[in-house]
Amino acid sequence: MAEISIDTYLCSGCAACVEICPLVFRLDPINEKAELIRLQPEITDDVYLAAAYCPEKCIEIIEG
């Protein structure tokens, strides 16, 4: 089963992933970094798109 990992150190908080895939990603209101809405979301095409468009390349999809 695939998992999503977000490197919050690299994340700039640009919210591109949230715009592309709002059912999976949101910004943490405190540190303004991306986080997962649910721990193990379904890995849809939009998740791959968000990872591809992340300017910091900090979304990783780990195939299980």
Give residues 4-23 in contact with ligand SF4 (rule: CB under 6 A). 6, 11-17
Reading phi first (left if > 0) and then psi (alpha if -120 to 50, else beta), residue 60 is in beta
CA distance 12 to 62: 21
Q: Confirm if 47 and 4 have CB atoms less than 8 A apart.
A: yes
Q: How far is the CB of 64 from ligand SF4 (least distance, A)?
A: 21
Tokens standing for residue 25: 């990603």
The distance of closest approach from Cβ of residue 63 to ligand SF4 in the complex, given in angstroms and rounded to an integer, is 19
Q: Which of 21, 24, 47, 59 binds ligand SF4 (CB under 6 A)?
A: 59
Residues interacting with ligand SF4, by CB under 6 A?
6, 11-17, 34, 54-56, 58-59
